[in-house]
Structure 1
Amino acid sequence: MAITINNTGKHLMLDALDTVLNTATLTIRSGAAPGAGNTATGTVLATITTPADAMAAASSGTKQKLGTWEDASADATGNAGHFRIVAGSTVIEGTCGGPGSGADMEISNVALQSGNPFTILTFTLSMAAN
């Protein structure tokens, strides 16, 4: 039998990430994600410090970004492929895509231009269903 956990347990684990995600460094990078346990790859296209209260309380086994995450000026020109959130030794990484793409993090435009603004539209952490 597989181990299962109810939503109460999932919410405890997801909400524990608040201290990690609040004021963490989020980079948007070109290319494919190398995996959170590996050295970062790709060109850094943008760098954002997440808000002090970055994520909403967990609900239904998920946790969504809270408020507006944006950068007034992208660092470089290129196509966004993945994101990397770093807080101390904790790394969270996933795919980037445009609106409606279904990527792990959706941004206003994957074709970033140096000096131009962009916004993180969606970012949701979830725990697998039982």
Structure 2
Amino acid sequence: MALQYSVAVNNARLDAVESTIGTSAILKIRTGAPPANCAAADSGTVLSTVNLPSDWMAAASGATKSKSGTWEDTSADATGTAAHYRIYASDGTTCGEQGTVTATGGGGDLTVDNVSFAAGQAFTVTSYTKTAGNQ
């Protein structure tokens, strides 16, 4: 039998992501493929650095958890094509999560309004939702 959790347990697992990474988390959007895991060295060019809202994720409900507040950058750091992201603790170096970036509707772990970044360009994260499995 496959391992199964209740919705309440899955909500707690999802809420632990935000509490473990902490408040004042930092999102960095980068070019290229993501590293093998969060313990591996950063890769790609940093296109954008976003200081996330203090409460950057809404409380989990129904075994899903979504971004909270506005995630945007008024001036991208560099020019390139967004392909992956990392969310760091407030120190900007301790990776807590990484995933893929696509344009809205592209199916990435995090979606933005446009994956073609130009230095100085504004952009917005349009979607970021996590769903717990094993229900």
Higher strand share: 1
In 1, the alpha carbon distance for the partners of 2:22 and 2:130 equals: 11
Residue 90 of structure 1 and its aligned partner are, at CA, apart by 4.5
Structure 2 residue matching 1:4: 3-state secondary structure: coil
Task: Tell me which stretches of 4 or more aligned residues in structure 1 moved more than 4 Å.
Answer: none
For 2:121, give the aligned amino acid. N
Number of residue equivalences: 130
* Pick aligned residue for 1:96 from 80, 98, 101: 101
Structural RMSD (CA)? 1.4
Equivalent residues in 2 for 1:2-17, closer than 5 Å:
2-17=2-17
For 1:78, give the aligned amino acid. G
Q: 1:77 to 1:36 in 2, by over 3 A?
A: same
Name stretches of at least 5 consecutive residues in structure 1 with no aligned partner: none
Deviations for 1:21-51, whole angstroms, at most 9, x for unmatched residues?
5311110000011122311100000001110
Name stretches of at least 5 consecutive residues in structure 2 with no aligned partner: none
* Pick aligned residue for 2:55 from 53, 56, 65: 53
TM-score (norm 2): 0.90
